[in-house]
Amino acid sequence: MNPGEKTIFQEYLTNQGTVVKPYCCQRQNHICAKCPYHIRTGEEARVPYAEFDRVFGFPYRSTAALRNKHLLFYELRSFSGSTVQKGHATNCTDRGYHAEPMLFGVGGYLDAVTDAYGNIGCIILCSNYSPCNEAYHCCVSKIYNFLWKYPEITLCIYFSRLYHTEDGFPTAAWNREALQSLSSLWPRVTLQRLPGGAQCYLLCNFVCGIPGFLPSIKRKLTKLCNFVINNKYLIG
């Protein structure tokens, strides 16, 4: 390590993918089962089907019991469109952190990864909630700052439900305004609900243990889904 070089993240290869330890102050605890490894990358970091189904609740069924659970899949693509890295991030129920600041914050994981690779042209996020901009989290502001720092990167955010935008939440107007502001950056930023066809993309790329999902079928579907997302049918 060069003198003065800062180690912000520690990554460990495990049988559940590469786990990332983002903050030195986060330790294992009994309140949050995921701590301190809220970011996982690689092929082995796939989420079990049961967890995916509970959190995303396709197509859009109510999951009131999981209101506090955030699950965000991400894919980083190069300028030529090839996948550089994929993985997922979860919120921290102990410290109350949202997933987006861990990824997009100054010195966050994507900041480090983007600098390290130098060829990231597109980031695709598929989350069970839209990003908020509440004072404690400032998720949208952090995404904004990230986009400002990396003007060559395009961002696609798909979400299955809106987070705290209903009348009655004190922060609803603030969150709605932040989402409108973010979506005004189109075409550089795409912000929309997950289309029905996205389930195939998510299952093929981020989920394991899918009932009745044979490897041969999975290979065919993966090709098909990548074709669909590359041709923006998923986005359009």
Strand, coil or helix: 13 = strand
Q: Which range of residues in 31-39, 150-158, 177-185, 212-220 is near Zn ion by CB under 5 A?
A: 31-39
Give the total of residues touching Zn ion (CB under 5 A).
9
The least distance separating Zn ion from the CB of residue 104, rounded to whole angstroms, comes to 10
Is 178 a binding residue for Zn ion by CB under 5 A? The answer is no
Contacting residue, 20, 139, 203, 234, with Zn ion by CB under 5 A: 139
The alpha carbon of 128 is separated from its chain's Cα centroid by a whole number of angstroms, namely 9
The least distance separating Zn ion from the CB of residue 211, rounded to whole angstroms, comes to 29
Residue 165 DSSP class: -
Contacting residue, 77, 137, 142, 176, with Zn ion by CB under 5 A: 137
Among residues 44, 51, 100, 152, the one annotated as catalytic is 100
Contacting residue, 76, 132, 156, 178, with Zn ion by CB under 5 A: 132
Q: For residue 100, indicate whether it is catalytic.
A: yes
Residues comprising the chain, all counted: 236
The least distance separating Zn ion from the CB of residue 157, rounded to whole angstroms, comes to 12
Residue 3 DSSP class: T
Q: Which range of residues in 137-145, 150-158, 196-204, 223-231 is near Zn ion by CB under 5 A?
A: 137-145
Which one, 92 or 202, has the nearer CB to Zn ion?
A: 92
- Pairing mode, strands 39-41 and 83-90: antiparallel
State the residue for tokens 């005004």: 184
State the residue for tokens 């069970």: 128
The least distance separating Zn ion from the CB of residue 42, rounded to whole angstroms, comes to 20
Tokens encoding 52 = 């995916």
Residues between 41 and 100 that touch Zn ion (CB under 5 A): 92, 94, 98
Q: Taking phi first (over 0 means left), then psi (-120 to 50 degrees means alpha), and beta for anything else, what does residue 152 get?
A: alpha
Is 142 a binding residue for Zn ion by CB under 5 A? The answer is no
Which one, 91 or 199, has the nearer CB to Zn ion?
A: 91
Going by C-beta distance under 8 Å and a sequence separation of 6 or more, which residues neighbour residue 222? 204, 205
Q: What are phi and psi of 35, to 5 degrees?
A: -60, 140
Is 176 a binding residue for Zn ion by CB under 5 A? The answer is no
Is 189 a binding residue for Zn ion by CB under 5 A? The answer is no
Which one, 18 or 199, has the nearer CB to Zn ion?
A: 18
Going by C-beta distance under 8 Å and a sequence separation of 6 or more, which residues neighbour residue 3? none
Which one, 19 or 132, has the nearer CB to Zn ion?
A: 132
Buried b (16+ CB within 10 A) or exposed e, 141-152: bbbbbbbeebee
Catalytic residues: 100
The site for Zn ion (CB under 5 A) is made up of 32, 34-35, 92, 94, 98, 132, 137, 139
